[in-house]
Amino acid sequence: MGCCSGRCMLIFLCTLQVMTALERQAFDFLGYQWAPIMVNFLQIIMVILGLFGTIQYRPRYVVLYLLWTLLWVTWNVFVCCFYLDLGGLSKESDLLSLGVSSHLSWWKDNGPGCDNRDLPATRWQSLESPKLIYALGCWLEYQYIEVLHCIIQLLISLLGFVYACYMVSTFTEEEDSCM
């Protein structure tokens, strides 16, 4: 594989990362998730810098993209654990909303296939159990949507990481051959 095809693939992956981050940003805005919103903005900025570094043959920007990708992968693993209630984390905590929002996530009531027409008037599951009912019979609950977003981001980021490593090695080989 030549340098041109590696560059084209990294440009494609960076573009795909920006598009999926923007889509995920909309989900996070509707869910009042302020910490992921800030991290998504950083993701978009760093991917654009990586894209710039790839197009302009600037290995420092690509290395910055590589380092950010490691942090991004870590963040996505954390979010997966958070929504799956792994490692002592709970999706019911206000950790991702930074404790500043008293709103419930829009996705709890309006996820794909959620049926809100037959909710009981009190919305309490039973008098003995004070668990509030958000929606009846969702096709896919909101936490699984978030986990799917994370998995997609992880796969694209890992591919981007591999191609960015290839591009950095190509850039350094070209610099060494010019000397």
Identify the pLDDT of residue 103: 55
Amino acid letter, residue 13: L
Q: Answer yes or no: are the C-beta atoms of 160 and 64 closer than 8 Å.
A: no
From the CB of residue 102, how many other CB atoms can be counted at a distance below 10 Å? 8
3 pLDDT more than 60:
no
Identify the pLDDT of residue 128: 53
Helix axis angle, 142-178 to 34-55, nearest 10°: 30
| 138 or 179, greater pLDDT | 138
What distance in Å separates the CA atoms of residue 100 and residue 177, rounded to the nearest whole number?
55
C-alpha torsion sign, points 65, 67, 73, 76: negative
Residues 56-92 pLDDT 10s: 878 888 899 999 999 999 999 998 888 888 888 777 7
What distance in Å separates the CA atoms of residue 132 and residue 73, rounded to the nearest whole number?
33
Identify the pLDDT of residue 135: 46
Identify the pLDDT of residue 154: 93
What distance in Å separates the CA atoms of residue 81 and residue 102, rounded to the nearest whole number?
23
The predicted model scores a pTM of: 0.76
* Six token digits for residue 80: 């997966």
Helix (H) or strand (E) segment spanning residue 151: helix 142-178
Identify the pLDDT of residue 64: 92
Amino acid letter, residue 119: L
Residue 68: strand, helix, or coil = helix
Mean pLDDT of 124-153: 68
Identify the pLDDT of residue 107: 67
Residues 111-124 pLDDT 10s: 676 665 544 454 44
47 pLDDT more than 70:
yes
Closest CA to 24 of 142, 109, 135: 142
146 pLDDT more than 60:
yes
Per the prediction, the chain carries an average pLDDT of 77
Residues 24-38 pLDDT 10s: 888 888 777 788 888
1 pLDDT more than 90:
no
Contacts of 5 (CB under 8 A, 6+ apart): none
